[in-house]
């Protein structure tokens, strides 16, 4: 009968802090503080606090000028001002702001009637779908 191989402890050269971080990561916790990971952090398993800090460090390193807006912060914007004003306030393009609004409406975070520009955009999208239906039927 074969003997079971002995389970070796961590090598002595690793520091106590680094061993703790490796153990936390193995258990599926944030390696920095040990809290439960954020559901958006698939690979890194970081908690919400350290995920935001990592994002800020990366954006600083890359040299991004505009701040990141989470979906919650996007929902808090005053959409009654219209797409152009929101785009100017956030420093984004009009297309990006329209995409945000559509995602927020589909996700149920805000109502479609929150933006006066939305009815014109919805009508244009409806016209496009009608044109597609006509083209598909031919």
Banded pLDDT at 138 (limits 50, 70, 90): very low
Domains in the chain: boundaries: 16-62, 71-137
Express each pLDDT in 61-94 by its tens digit: 998 877 778 888 888 888 888 888 888 888 888 8
Banded pLDDT at 137 (limits 50, 70, 90): low
Residue 12 three-state SS? coil
The pLDDT of residue 72: 84
Question: Does residue 117 have a pLDDT over 80?
Answer: no
The pLDDT of residue 52: 87
């Amino acid at each position: 009968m074969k003997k079971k191989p002995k389970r070796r402890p961590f090598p002595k050269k690793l520091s106590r802090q680094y061993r703790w971080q490796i153990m936390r990561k193995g258990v599926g916790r944030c390696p920095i503080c040990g809290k439960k990971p954020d559901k958006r952090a698939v690979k890194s398993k970081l908690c919400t606090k350290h995920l935001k800090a990592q994002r800020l460090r990366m954006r600083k390193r890359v040299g991004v000028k505009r701040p990141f807006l989470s979906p919650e912060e996007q929902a808090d914007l005053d959409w009654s001002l219209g797409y152009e004003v929101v785009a100017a306030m956030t420093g984004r393009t009009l297309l990006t702001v329209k995409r945000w609004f559509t995602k927020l409406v589909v996700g149920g975070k805000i109502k479609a009637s929150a933006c006066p520009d939305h009815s014109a955009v919805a009508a244009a999208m409806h016209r496009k779908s009608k044109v597609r239906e006509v083209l598909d039927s031919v």
